Amino acid sequence: MIKEVKNGTLYFDGCNTLELAEKYGTPLYVMSETAIVEKCKEIRSSFLQKYKKTRAAYAAKAFLTLSMCKIIEREGLCIDVVSGGELYTAIKANFPPEKIEFNGNNKTIDEIKLAVDYNIGRIIVDGLDELSLIESVCKEKGKKMNVLYRITPGVKSDSHDYIVTGKKDSKFGIPLDDEIIFPAVEQAVKSEYVKFMGFHYHVGSQLHDNASHLKALETSLKLIKDTKDKYGYVTPEINIGGGFGIKYTDADNKKPYSYFLDPMMERIEKFSKDLNIERPEVVIEPGRSIVGEAGITLYTVGTIKNIPGIRKYVSVDGGMTDNIRPALYQAKYEGVAANKADEPKTDTVTICGKCCESGDVLIRDAEVAPLKRGDIFAIFSTGAYGYTMASNYNKNPFPATVLVKDGESRIIVKRQSYDDLIKNEI
């Protein structure tokens, strides 16, 4: 087991969390290499090895460091980046360029040049003018780039509005109005500077129902058929995105990858057979589902304020600077006192951060063992969008990140110092 309790102490991937807090300080991101590898194995067994002509591109925005790049490369996955910084990180990790795919709704000309110079595998075009930018860079550099169009499938997913990306009113993707999408497809098909690979969609994040994926798939399949009928061109790929939900709390009904992927693959196979075309290569983009439950965050308890008849606030030495999700869209988490992990949870408290914001709350109404200053509190399932969304608000330094495996630990991101905070200031 990745999480277990020994003699009242929480262990994570074989490591004593109290010893981790003592050695590396808090707040502390802790990532389990074992858990990450197990999710990669599930992707291989339920998708990559089960179906021919498939790829899985890890969505780097969930958690990206140089060490994470090496793990993903070793596990045989591609990587999906959404910024020049993520692309640069992959480049510095010597990640194979042909296995990099570049997403994002507003790529700058410099980011496109970086992608073309590094000969990455795919650029996923997100706007009508982006293809022309790519063509101009490829013309200048004498290169040709593989591209897909990210479409807006027009489906509503059952998730928080901030992480729903497939509805028509979205900053992501190209609208499917005939007068918009088909001239764009024609430009890509006829271009001498790009190879048009097909269509991409992403319906949202943290999903536990496959209905929106299947609805969006029908939209993409119709586009494949229309492209064949209108231009005699058969697109060789389809990217069906990610968004596969994880367990944050007991209320989350987590599903295996096969729940999402098997019905979609069955539909794509039937569609290809009916249209009498070779089945396109199918690509997925899991991110959170690979690293979310692989991470925990350790904090030290500080001030405790009991407001009789109202609420007890337990402050920790981190907060919205290391986990913005609760403040941003009311994300729910669970946690435990790492040094009292087997004690009865007889107290109800609100775990809050140290930032100068009333909204800096990590867990509301958490059932915990009675806490006191100096206790170590662990919050679970923080592996995705903790480190990558961290900020220096209130001049709080970024926490360190450690990678653990079988009782061993090592730093993969150093703790930011106060000097680091101001090193670019003049």
pLDDT in tens, 259-279: 999 999 999 999 999 999 999
Give the burial class of 403: count Cβ atoms within 10 A of its Cβ; 0-12 exposed, 13-18 middle, 19 or more buried.
buried
131 and 194, same domain (yes or no): yes
Report the domain count for the chain. 2
For the beta carbon of residue 141, count every other beta carbon within 10 angstroms: 14
Dihedral pair phi/psi, residue 126, rounded to 5°:
-115, 0
Q: Do residues 246 and 332 make contact, with C-beta atoms less than 8 angstroms apart?
A: no
168 and 233, same domain (yes or no): yes
Q: Kindly indicate the confidence band of residue 171, based on its pLDDT and cuts at 50, 70 and 90.
A: confident
52 found inside a domain = no
Over residues 197-211, the mean pLDDT reads 92
397 and 418, same domain (yes or no): yes
Residue ranges making up the domain that contains 17:
3-31+293-422
Single out the catalytic residue among 40, 78, 138, 356: 356
Q: Which two tokens stand for residue 80?
A: 């999906």
Q: Which two tokens stand for residue 274?
A: 């009916």
Interacting residues of 285 by C-beta distance below 8 A, sequence separation 6+: 56, 57, 58, 59, 80, 101, 103, 202, 239, 241, 242
45 found inside a domain = no
Higher-pLDDT residue of 111 and 170 is: 111
Q: Note the pLDDT of residue 168.
A: 57
338 and 268, same domain (yes or no): no
Lowest mean pLDDT of 78-87, 248-257, 297-306, name the range: 248-257
For residue 12, the cross-strand partners are: 3, 15
* pLDDT of 160 higher than 50: no
pLDDT in tens, 349-369: 999 999 999 999 999 999 999
CATH assignment at residue 154: 3.20.20.10
Q: Kindly indicate the confidence band of residue 169, based on its pLDDT and cuts at 50, 70 and 90.
A: low
266 and 328, same domain (yes or no): no
Identity at 78, one-letter amino acid code: C
352 is catalytic: no
197 found inside a domain = yes
What is the rounded CA–CA span in Å between residue 240 and residue 199? 8
Question: What's the distance, CA 296 to chain centroid?
Answer: 16
257 and 170, same domain (yes or no): yes
Q: Note the pLDDT of residue 172.
A: 81
271 and 315, same domain (yes or no): no
265 and 343, same domain (yes or no): no
What is the rounded CA–CA span in Å between residue 108 and residue 130? 9
pTM reported for the whole predicted model: 0.94
For residue 366, the cross-strand partners are: 349
Domain stops at, among 240, 256, 286: 286
Domain stops at, among 227, 258, 286: 286
Domain stops at, among 267, 286, 305: 286
Over residues 295-301, the mean pLDDT reads 98
280 and 313, same domain (yes or no): no
243 found inside a domain = yes
What is the rounded CA–CA span in Å between residue 173 and residue 154? 10
Pairing of strands 122-125, 145-150: parallel
363 and 242, same domain (yes or no): no
* pLDDT of 245 higher than 60: yes
Question: What's the distance, CA 7 to chain centroid?
Answer: 34
Secondary structure of the chain: what % helix, strand, coil (to 5)? 35, 25, 40
CATH assignment at residue 320: 2.40.37.10
73 and 217, same domain (yes or no): yes
Burial 147-157 (b: 16+ CB within 10 A, else e): bbbbbbbbbbb
403 and 348, same domain (yes or no): yes
